[in-house]
């Protein structure tokens, strides 16, 4: 085992490296040599601590002291005071912004309290293919307690008091939904788990099903007990083979242990679960379309009411909840509604899982309490923007959501605030964009998605989205006109008003929110024929500056289409009619003679 008495953990994530953490490491290394402490102190480079704002970070183990904003000049003091004499260097500790006290242990720092894992409690902790590990973590205990000690009404009451709202995007109160389905009278009812996760860049549900499938099965059984159903169905897209595999294994194990099947835990309660595969159509995430798809019909939405809780699968009352919603249920029942409703904001309780993607350092899956700000998520947890670029926008809510600017960075995230800001919670995709992203192209990308995913039932959605896409495409090709912006606005509002389901009602959101927040960019495209982000190829122009060109012929030799002409040692020229804007000449030029406008 180790002889080292002390570990110095020094962050070498991108953020801290940019603020000289490498020099700190070198300085510590030579100081430790100088003091002859090589055998006692070990220096370890770590990945990003996530607390980049206070970087560079140096953490001393075993006493867990957390130094922030350390500079190479501080190393000697840390070594002499802390390592040799055992005295903490107070001035380098994190100061709590509220109490003004110095905090030495990182566990006491607010940032590290920002993530709390409820739905993801077992992801990355247990082996998802071993039911015993789930049981060891109090798995199926909530189901057991409900069956033995609580009536369905009491259980529903507990869920209602917890304040849990649907995590699929709509945010409908879960307890209320269960109650309505319970009150619908029928000889047969169904519990459906909506695992048709379709937002581009979102993978929350997949990770839960892959990492902790039993939590969803247990919650579905609890739901069955509450609403009076003996059959559960998981509607999952066939594109998630690993999640399907793990679910199948979990269902098999639960049956073997008698946790699914007849007379569960001697409570005369029968419940079993089957899988239904979707073909990956986005519209099937809408509950009526999902139900039709399960029935073997076309995946098209129908008018509500009747709601599925009254007439759903096979015309029977059906309770549809999202994966993440279900994953919260066992914890709420084990820990109590009062524990759960203390987390979050007034109207949005608990936590939300987000899939962080795009131009962000720590791409990954995070779970934060409702009410956390976008700034905390993007900078503190996400580690900031890649390559030190400028933050431009964050897209939440997938193709139905909107793009928020830096003005919204301090908005606490919850259902109502995001809607007020012109976006929505959605299922939890969060795509971060930097200064190099063209917002018109982004809007076009989302339209391309909804265009392909529209089921075609309603004309405004089927034809309207196509027209929206055409106008956006025209603008990115430099052929737009000012009137197009107004056309986009009017058409968007028609599509929103006249479509039947959520897909059409929300598909123009990316267009409307980018126009609202980035109208300048639209104007630059249509008025000046310029793309400020330099993304729209048709609007780019590569030129060679005569005075800088040395006539080395490098660009001439690399141009794939022969658009560059010129004699050796003489300035070269680009023929704009041939140029395909591939940028090869720009990258190859050693004299910065090629400019991009």
Partner 1 sequence: MTKIKSLADLKKIRDEVQSKIKLRENSDHPEQTVQIKVGMATCGIASGAKETMNYFVEELEQQAIDAVVTQTGCMGYCYAEPTVEITLPGKGPVVFGYVNKSKAEEIIEVYIKRGKLVDGIIPVNFKTIDE
- Number of other residues whose CB lies within 10 A of the CB of residue 3: 7
- Minimum Å distance from CB 118 to partner 1? 6
Figure out which of the listed residues 364, 529, 566, 583 binds partner 1, where binding follows CB under 8 A: 364
Residues paired with residue 159 on neighbouring β-strands, in sequence order = none
Choices 82-90, 143-151, 299-307, 496-504; region in contact with partner 1 by CB under 8 A: 143-151
Bridge partners (DSSP) of residue 364 are 356
Question: Taking CB under 8 A as the rule, does residue 122 contact partner 1?
Answer: yes
The single residue among 52, 118, 385, 458 that binds partner 1, judged by CB under 8 A, is 118
- State both tokens at 464: 């309207």
365 binds partner 1 (CB under 8 A): yes
**Residue 563 near partner 1 by CB under 8 A:** no
**Smallest distance, partner 1 to C-beta of residue 492, A:** 34
Instruction: Count CB-CB contacts under 10 A for residue 201.
Output: 14
Min separation Cβ 138 and partner 1, Å: 7
DSSP structure class, residue 536: -
**CB-based contact 414:345 (threshold 8 Å):** yes
Measured distance CA(28)–CA(135) in Å, rounded: 46
Choose one: 97-105, 290-298, 358-366, 442-450; the region binding partner 1 (CB under 8 A). 358-366
Q: In the complex with partner 1, which residue's Cβ is closer, 145 or 537?
A: 145
DSSP 230: S
DSSP element (H, E) containing 328: helix 323-335
Binding of residue 116 to partner 1 (CB under 8 A): yes
Write the interaction track for partner 1 spanning residues 303-342; mark x where CB under 8 A is met and - where it is not: ----------------------------x---x-------
Verify binding: residue 210, partner 1, rule CB under 8 A: yes
User: Which listed range, 41-49, 312-320, 509-517, 568-576, lies at the site for partner 1 (CB under 8 A)?
Assistant: 41-49
For residue 319, the minimal CB distance to partner 1 (Å) is 24
Segment 231-270, which members bind partner 1 (CB under 8 A)? 240, 242, 256-259, 265-266
Interface residues for partner 1 in 393-412 (CB under 8 A)?
none
- Given 17, 69, 80, 117, the residue binding partner 1 (CB under 8 A): 117
Residues 497-535: b if buried by 16+ CB within 10 A, e if exposed: eebbbbbbbbbbbbbbbbbebbeebbebbbeeebbbbeb
For the record, the structure tokens of 381 come out as: 């947890």
- Please give the residues from 169 up to 208 whose contact with partner 1 meets the rule CB under 8 A: 203, 206-208
Count of residues touching partner 1 (by CB under 8 A): 74
If one asks whether residue 510 binds partner 1 (CB under 8 A), the answer comes out as no
Nearest CB to partner 1, comparing residues 127 and 595: 127
| Least Cβ distance, residue 236 to partner 1 (angstroms) | 14
218 touches partner 1 by CB under 8 A: no
Among 33, 38, 96, 129, binds partner 1 (CB under 8 A): 129
Please give the C-alpha separations between residue 171 and each of 75, 104, 135, 274, in angstroms, as whole numbers.
Answer: 50, 39, 30, 26
Instruction: Give the shortest CB-372-to-partner 1 separation in angstroms.
Output: 12
Contacts of 353 (CB under 8 A, 6+ apart): 119, 120, 167, 204, 207, 208, 324, 365, 366, 367, 428
Report which of 234, 231, 211, 206 is spatially closest to residue 221, judged by C-alpha positions. Answer: 231
Closest approach of Cβ 332 to partner 1, in Å? 11
d(CA 517, CA 511): 10
In the shown chain, the binding pattern of residues 44 to 83 toward partner 1, with x for contact by CB under 8 A and - for none, equals: xxxxxxxx-------x------------------------
289 binds partner 1 (CB under 8 A): no
Six-digit token string for 469: 């896409």
The correct pick among 113, 183, 248, 568 for binding partner 1 (CB under 8 A) is 113
The H-assigned helical ranges of 272-414 are 287-294, 323-335, 337-340, 374-375
Residue 241 CB partners (closer than 8 Å, separation 6+): none
Given the complex with partner 1, which of 328 and 517 has the nearer CB atom?
328
Which residues have CB under 8 Å from 597's CB, separation 6+? 530, 540, 541, 543
In whole angstroms, the minimum distance from the beta carbon of 164 to partner 1 comes to 15
Helix, coil or strand: residue 124: coil
Nearer to partner 1, 57 or 227 (CB): 57
CB 326 within 8 A of CB 119: no
Question: Applying CB under 8 A, does 132 fall inside the site for partner 1?
Answer: yes
The least CB distance from residue 432 to partner 1, in Å, is: 13
Q: Which of 3, 274, 258, 305 is nearest to 135 (CA)?
A: 258
């Amino acid at each position: 085992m180790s002889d080292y008495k002390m570990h110095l953990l020094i962050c070498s994530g991108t953020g801290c490296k940019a603020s000289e953490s490498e020099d700190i490491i070198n300085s510590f290394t030579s100081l430790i040599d100088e003091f002859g402490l090589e055998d006692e102190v070990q220096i370890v480079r770590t990945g990003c601590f996530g607390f980049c704002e206070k970087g560079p970070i140096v953490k001393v183990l075993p006493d867990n002291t957390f130094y922030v904003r350390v500079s190479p000049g501080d190393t000697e003091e840390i070594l002499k005071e802390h390592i040799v004499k055992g005295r903490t260097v107070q001035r380098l500790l994190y100061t709590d912004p509220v109490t003004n006290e110095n905090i030495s242990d990182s566990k006491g720092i607010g940032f590290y309290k920002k993530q709390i894992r409820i739905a993801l409690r077992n992801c990355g902790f247990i082996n998802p293919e071993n039911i015993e590990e789930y049981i060891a973590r109090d798995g199926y205990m909530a189901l057991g307690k409900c069956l033995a000690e609580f009536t369905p009404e009491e259980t529903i009451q507990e869920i209602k008091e917890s304040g849990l709202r649907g995590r699929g995007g709509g945010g409908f109160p879960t307890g209320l939904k269960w109650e309505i389905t319970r009150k619908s009278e029928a000889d047969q009812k169904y519990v459906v788990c909506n695992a048709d996760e379709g937002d581009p860049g979102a993978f929350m549900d997949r990770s839960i099903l892959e990492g902790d499938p039993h939590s969803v099965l247990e919650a579905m059984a609890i739901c069955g007990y509450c609403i009076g159903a003996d059959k559960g169905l998981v509607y999952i897209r066939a594109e998630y083979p690993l999640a399907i595999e793990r679910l199948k294994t979990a269902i098999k194990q639960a049956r073997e242990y008698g946790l699914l099947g007849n007379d569960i835990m001697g409570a005369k309660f029968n419940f079993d679960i089957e899988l239904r595969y979707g073909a990956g159509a986005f519209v099937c995430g809408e509950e009526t379309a999902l139900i039709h798809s399960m029935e073997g019909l076309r995946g098209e939405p129908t008018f509500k009411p009747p709601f599925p809780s009254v007439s759903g699968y096979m015309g029977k009352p059906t309770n549809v909840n999202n994966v993440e919603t279900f994953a919260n249920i066992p914890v709420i029942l084990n820990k109590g509604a009062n524990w759960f409703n203390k987390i979050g904001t007034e109207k949005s309780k608990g936590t939300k899982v987000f899939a962080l993607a795009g131009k962000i350092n720590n791409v990954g899956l995070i779970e934060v309490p409702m009410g956390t700000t976008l700034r905390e998520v993007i900078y503190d947890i996400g580690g900031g923007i890649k390559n030190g670029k400028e933050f431009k926008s964050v897209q939440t809510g997938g193709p139905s959501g909107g793009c928020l600017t830096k003005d919204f960075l301090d908005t606490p995230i919850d259902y109502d605030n995001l809607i007020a800001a012109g976006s929505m919670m959605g299922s939890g995709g969060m795509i971060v964009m930097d200064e190099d992203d063209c917002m018109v192209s982004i809007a076009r990308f989302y339209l391309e998605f909804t265009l392909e995913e529209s089921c075609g039932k309603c004309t405004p959605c089927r034809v309207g989205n196509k027209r929206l896409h055409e106008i956006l495409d025209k603008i990115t090709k430099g052929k737009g006109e000012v009137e197009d912006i107004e056309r986009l606005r009017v058409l968007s509002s028609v599509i929103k008003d006249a479509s039947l389901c959520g897909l059409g009602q929300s598909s123009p959101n990316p267009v409307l929110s980018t126009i609202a927040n980035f109208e300048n960019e639209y104007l630059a495209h249509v008025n000046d024929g310029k793309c400020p982000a330099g993304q729209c190829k048709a609007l780019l122009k590569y030129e060679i500056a005569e005075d800088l060109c040395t006539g080395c012929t490098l660009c001439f030799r690399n141009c794939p289409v022969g658009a560059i002409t010129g004699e050796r040692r003489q300035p070269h020229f680009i023929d704009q009619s041939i140029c395909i804007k591939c940028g090869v000449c720009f990258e190859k030029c050693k004299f910065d003679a090629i400019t991009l406008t």
